[in-house]
Structure 1
Amino acid sequence: MTEQSPDSPQDRALAAYLESVTDDPDVLAVIAVGSHARGTARIDSDVDVYLITTDDAFEKAIAADRIAWIDRHDVDYPGGYIDIKLACPAYLAAAVERADDPTRASFEGARVVFERPEAVGIAALIAEIATLPASAWDGRIRSHVAQARLHGRYFLGQAVALGDPFLTQHAASHLALAAARAAFAANRTLLRGPKYVSATLAAVETPAGFVEAWDAVVERSTVDELTAANGRALVAMLEEWLGDRAPGENALSTFIFDNELAWLRGTVPAEYF
């Protein structure tokens, strides 16, 4: 099944790209993702795709260090190109179980634009990748509130007390990310990536004054008591909102479990969920 409706520069570029890859027997499917797939592309936006190959071809590509590249740069429209990431059925199945937020979010609004008959089921897999069960969101809230508590109270306070500019910026940025991600989890919203955090936080439902308190932390990293006070204020708002879903007495254990024991569990720290 191939979808080709040449109504925009991106459509024409995608159609031309499909013609160049669909005769390859190792190619099982092509998944359009990103702004073009979601219908929000600008006239100069690139076209993002996942090229789904056989598992064997994917392993060979990893060995050859070729799992992402661009194609057709400036060929179909000025500044345009196809941004390609490689994946395979085993990758998709693993992503359903344990992908991080940016990977899951990349499949939101995805469209299967080419699929071989033997690859039936790809669409169902990508829909599962972008969906988390309620229990997972509850766990995210606990983890990110714990992150905010430790970074906003202990580490940021220590940074100011020590007069340490790096630790101040590190603690403030980690507090801001954790607070935003707790808000995302409360709204069952995935983290698409750092450049989308501010806009996503402004769009989700939060208590009155929360975004302003978050902005105060983000916009100030001077090593002084006001910076520490801004951090404490944001944590206090977060606790008033979500504290009953993330018991404070468990915060340190949750933080240690999510960060210092991540390697032992074969996973990643909470900020990379």
Structure 2
Amino acid sequence: MSTSIRAHHQKAIDRLVETYQNDTRFNALIIGGSVAKGCARDDSDVDFFIVANDNEFDKRKSEGDLFINRTDLCDYPGGFVDGKVVSYSYLQELANKGNEPSRAAFDGAFIAYSHLDGLSSMVQSIPVYQETGHKERLKAFYSMAFMQNWLMGEANRHDNIYTKSRAATQLAFYAGRLILAYNKVLYPYHKWLMHYLEKCPDKPDSVLENIKSVLNEPNLQNANRLFQSIQDFSDWGIPDHDAFLWFMEEVEWSWMNDNTALEDL
């Protein structure tokens, strides 16, 4: 549990507990988001997961009613609580085979109340980087960064503004994912990417500035500077030919293999 929770956020959490802990439809309340991570702003909302019993979850799922968004539990300007209804079996599956963004959603999460035995250890097992597939992810992210840098060259040659913008954002994204994976840090989805990169202990000195530069000014010089910084950071062991080949087989031919989209890993 974070020790830096603002008083008005804690008050909202207390009201959530008062509202739901005696409701037999809900077995537990888990606080997540920026409040749990200790980086909330004054006006941040309070994110949470509420664990419904199986009957309640199945009912809500069939009705498409899996969100709880309330302003009446907050007394600060613009405040609201924003929750997702989940089941215990969902948490079990997430701990077993969840993707990185779903795991990272539980980074720093803490239990506000629970009627479930073993929930604490379950929650702690979720935001854990998975060693299985680590080398493959490094190759994938490096190859994608390589290809986006190459694509920026093509966009520059044809003066294609759309491709420049696309290559810049994709290069920034995969350079970021490569460094996260190198540090064995979960990818927290786009909103938190730069924040998590800042916390990585091992990264090129200029990588954050280079990412910002290519996003602010999508051009070949900035793209080359960013890619060069990550290329020189480690001996990735991936020749240019292998990066091109990976892209052809895993991206251009992904439809042949029913592969999961790389951004969803």
Letter in 1 for 2:131: A
- Structure 2: distance between partners of 1:130 and 1:75: 28
Structure 2 stretches lacking a partner, 5+ long = none
- Structure 1 residue 170 corresponds to structure 2 residue 173: no
- Structure 1 residue 20 corresponds to structure 2 residue 19: yes
- Structure 1 residue 189 corresponds to structure 2 residue 185: yes
- Structure 1: distance between partners of 2:9 and 2:261: 37
| Residue correspondence of structure 1 range 153-232 to structure 2 within 5 A | 153=150, 155-204=151-200, 205-221=202-218, 227-232=219-224
The answer to whether the Cα contact below 8 Å between 1:141 and 1:246 also exists between their aligned partners in 2 is: no
- Structure 1 residue 132 corresponds to structure 2 residue 129: yes
| Residue correspondence of structure 1 range 103-114 to structure 2 within 5 A | 103-114=102-113
The answer to whether the Cα contact below 8 Å between 2:129 and 2:185 also exists between their aligned partners in 1 is: no
1:145: how far off?
Answer: 0.7
The answer to whether the Cα contact below 8 Å between 1:141 and 1:245 also exists between their aligned partners in 2 is: no
- Structure 1 residue 82 corresponds to structure 2 residue 81: yes
The root-mean-square deviation of aligned C-alpha atoms, in Å, is: 2.7
- Structure 1: distance between partners of 2:253 and 2:180: 24
TM-score scaled by length of structure 2: 0.85
The secondary structure found in structure 1 opposite 2:84 is strand
- Structure 1: distance between partners of 2:106 and 2:80: 19
- Structure 2: distance between partners of 1:97 and 1:145: 26
- Structure 2: distance between partners of 1:7 and 1:218: 33
The answer to whether the Cα contact below 8 Å between 2:129 and 2:186 also exists between their aligned partners in 1 is: no
Residue 224 of structure 1: aligned partner: none
Describe the superposition over 1:189-246 as per-residue Cα deviations: whole angstroms up to 9, x where unpaired. 222232333333334232233333333322212xxxxx22432332233222234254
1:256: how far off?
Answer: 4.5
Letter in 2 for 1:232: N
1:269: how far off?
Answer: 1.7
- Structure 2: distance between partners of 1:56 and 1:243: 52
Residue 60 of structure 1: aligned partner: 59
| Residue correspondence of structure 1 range 193-272 to structure 2 within 5 A | 193-204=189-200, 205-221=202-218, 227-246=219-238, 248-256=240-248, 258-260=250-252, 268-272=260-264
Letter in 1 for 2:232: E
Equivalenced residues, count: 260
1:220–1:33 CA distance, 2 compared to 1 (3 A) = same
- Structure 1: distance between partners of 2:255 and 2:89: 23
Residue 102 of structure 1: aligned partner: 101
Letter in 2 for 1:156: M
- Structure 1: distance between partners of 2:50 and 2:253: 34
- Structure 2: distance between partners of 1:98 and 1:265: 20
The secondary structure found in structure 1 opposite 2:233 is helix
- Structure 2: distance between partners of 1:40 and 1:199: 10
1:101: how far off?
Answer: 2.5
The answer to whether the Cα contact below 8 Å between 1:258 and 1:269 also exists between their aligned partners in 2 is: no
1:33–1:257 CA distance, 2 compared to 1 (3 A) = farther
1:111: how far off?
Answer: 0.8
- Structure 2: distance between partners of 1:49 and 1:110: 9
1:171–1:48 CA distance, 2 compared to 1 (3 A) = same
